Structure 1
Amino acid sequence: MKNQQICELFIENRDILKKIFIFTDHQIYHICAMIFADKGQLADPQKLEDCKNLLKNATKNTFGLSMNFRGYSHTIFICMLSISDNPEQKLEQTIKLYSELKAEFSGSEYLALGAMIMTEYTTDYEQITTRAKEIYTDMRANHPFLTSNEDSVFSLLLSLSEKSTKLLNEEIEKHYEECKEKFGKSNAVQALSHVLALTDGNAHDVINLYEDLRNRGYKYGTQFELPALGIVAKLGEKNDIINELIEVDQFLSNQKGYQGIFSLSKKQRLMHASCLVMSNHLNKSDTNINLYTSTISAIAIAIAQQIALIIIIASSTAVTNANN
């Protein structure tokens, strides 16, 4: 199987994380396993414990930090620190950026998560904060009922785009209008439009990929799963990508946690397959050469990946809150 190595690494990481974070929501295991697999790393139990203590000590005496860095996404923060070469420095930079962002945005787990992601790409926190606010203001103006505080993280990620704010806004709206005809009005479609604007994607390519998968008997989800499909649609020849998605989906269907009554849904499984295929392609030089053209930077692709990840986290948080 073309994606064998990353699939096996994903499952191995998931099983390690389940033993370490015993009471964590099962959705988080898969998200964190994706984070490690994307970096080609195997979770180190001792480093995870060290990062857990690091995060606890750095945030325990400040209410806002304690609440937003140690809530539902607590395990995700620990895993993101663990893949860093210098967790102490990364956390210090994250808290610094988060503090600056709170001058313009309401504090939240999503904003904290965005801050941690952003430290990998920039140190110009003032400029990023200012531009993120401009983008968020446009989002609110265009979609007042869809846009909420949690969308501040998307404006933050979009602020790294090399495109002007005006052009970015125009392209996002164009893609949104095209995608909503097929997938309806939702936060997921809004996030998909962000991905397409960042990567010079094509809404019709995403819709065609969705339809062709459906014709092969694989119904891809139209909620939090969509942003990942937006990236996958750019990875290569459509039929080749579909074959890879089906192959990985079949591999996952034989793994523990994807079988039986209490397993993840088929739509979630196919979304996981798309994330694994996406990571495997984007970590290969031949794919990078095809994608990273004069109009699509490496950062744009990376940020599009992060948007796909954030919408998955947001959806799993919503499901958990609804069940509590």
Structure 2
Amino acid sequence: MWQYNIKNKLDLFIKNHEKIKEVKGSWQMGMMQYSCILSSTIKNQNINPIRVEEGINIIKESTGMFSNFRGYSLFYVANLLSYKPEMRRSFKVILDTYEKLKKDKFFNDAYLPFLAIIIYENRDKMDIDTAIDRTKYVYDFMKKHHPFLTSSDDYCRSALIAINSKNLEDDLKYMEESYEALNSKGFYKSNDLQSLSHIMVFNENKNEESLDRVVKIKKLLESKGCKIDGYGYPLIGAISLLDCDENQLVEQIKNVSDKLKEVKGFGNWALGKNNRNMISAVIVASSYVDYFSQETNIDTISNNIFLEIIIAIDIAMMLVIMSASTASATYIN
């Protein structure tokens, strides 16, 4: 069954990759197109170019020329709105949430629209004002303990922790314990390790075995020539949350990466091996989530917030890649 899910998910991803090209101005999207494609694919949604363009028009009509919603997030938010029955009303709530975040002294940059989206998408779990307050508390905790590593790229994970934690103090304590423990297991102290420690908060067991599993999966990926490095560490942490055989999981990631390599636009030159491996990991992991949901119908970490976690990770990864590319181009010029 899970092999069937993976094949369907991969086929949908490739189909959505073609559909996003039909959106006017899609060539401007850069790496953010992959976040749009993945966010739709892992939720088993087909991209509708006409609806996406409607979303773009709504965003442009509702914001000023220099709004962050017209930057990296434009196509992502438009794609999100395309699935909403009342697009204008949905965007108004997102925009209102964004304004509240600015008033609460969150830094107004490219990450802030995505933070507003996550809080908006989880409003049924927690009211928006409470979510903002708790997110600020989590972020300030991170900043206090890692002042030189913590920045706005931690906003989305802060929100997920704030919204989903049942015991915030215990979870934040474990987050720091994970950071130190994983460092002792071979991960260098860095922003990437900090991001990984954020994901470990969502592990239900929160024990030594759980941390060892992260190390094991990292090594398995490397041994299969399917390495996920650096800014992809949080994704390894997310994969470790799945209750499945690690060897089988990694083998499937490699298979998907090998198949994607043969598709135009996903080769080593066009996309890069590390980025393709991360996309493959997201496709496989979300396929397992579908399988668990279908077979068990149990509200676990796998089918409750796992998709939210990997969407947040994916957004952060793509923004890092795009920022690095922009900086490189600026330096060359």
Q: Tell me the residue number matched to 1:211.
A: 219
Q: TM-score, normalised by structure 2?
A: 0.87
What are the Cα deviations for residues 216-249 of structure 1, in whole angstroms up to 9, with x where unaligned?
332222x121212212223211111112111111
C-alpha distance in structure 2 between counterparts of 1:224 and 1:18, whole Å: 27
User: Does residue 190 of structure 1 match 2:198?
Assistant: no
Cross-structure match for 1:283: 290
User: Does residue 235 of structure 2 align to residue 231 of structure 1?
Assistant: no
- The alignment of Structure 1 onto Structure 2 pairs a total of residues equal to 316
Question: Is it true that 1:113 corresponds to 2:114 in the alignment?
Answer: yes
Letter in 1 for 2:200: L
Q: Distance in 2 between matches of 1:145 and 1:287?
A: 43
Between stretches 36-45 and 155-164, larger displacement belongs to 155-164
User: Partner letter of residue 318 of structure 2?
Assistant: I
Q: Which residue of 1 aligns with 2:97?
A: 97
Give matches, 1:263-282, under 5 Å: 263-282=270-289
User: Is the contact made by 1:160 and 1:300 (CA closer than 8 Å) also made in structure 2?
Assistant: no
Whole-angstrom distance in 1 between the partners of 2:151 and 2:267: 35
Where 2:276 maps in the other structure, the secondary structure is helix
- Per-residue deviation, 1:25: 4.0
1:50 pairs with 2:86: no
Mean Cα displacement is larger for which, 45-54 or 307-316? 307-316
What amino acid maps onto 1:82 in structure 2? S
Query: Residue 152 in 1 paired to residue 160 in 2?
Result: no
What SS does the aligned partner of 2:31 have?
helix
Residue 140 of structure 2 is aligned to residue 137 of structure 1: yes
Partner Cα distance (1:188, 1:226) in 2? 6
SS in 1 for 2:71: coil
Report what 2:63 is aligned to. Answer: 59
Q: How does 1:273-312 map to 2 (within 5 A)?
A: 273-286=280-293, 289=296, 292-293=299-300, 296=301, 299-312=304-317
The letter for the 2-side match of 1:51 is G
Question: Which residue is equivalent to 2:254?
Answer: 246
Identity of aligned residues (%): 25
Name the CA shift for 1:97/1:13 in 2 (closer, same or farther; >3 Å).
same
Q: 1:85 aligns to what SS in structure 2?
A: coil
Which residue of structure 1 aligns with residue 80 of structure 2?
Answer: 80
Could you tell me how far apart the structure 2 residues matched to 1:287 and 1:187 are? 36
- Tell me which amino acid in the other structure corresponds to 1:172: M
Range with greater deviation from structure 2 (135-144 or 177-186) = 177-186
Instruction: Render the CA deviation track for 1:81-100: whole Å, top value 9, x for unaligned.
Output: 12333322221111111111
Distance 1:151 1:158, change over 3 A: same
Provide Cα deviations, 1:151-171, integer angstroms capped at 9, x if missing partner.
233322221023322112111
CA distance in 1, matches of 2:86, 2:285: 26
C-alpha contact 1:81 1:87 (8 A) present in aligned 2: yes
Contact 2:97 2:128 in 1 (8 A): yes
In the alignment, is the contact (CA less than 8 A) between 1:146 and 1:186 conserved in 2? Answer: yes
Q: 1:51 to 1:314 in 2, by over 3 A?
A: same
Distance 1:90 1:77, change over 3 A: same
Structure 2: give runs of 5+ residues left out of the alignment.
none
Deviation at 1:284, TM superposition (A): 3.0
The normalised TM-score by structure 1 is 0.89
**Rounded Cα–Cα distance in structure 1 between residues aligned with 2:85 and 2:303:** 20
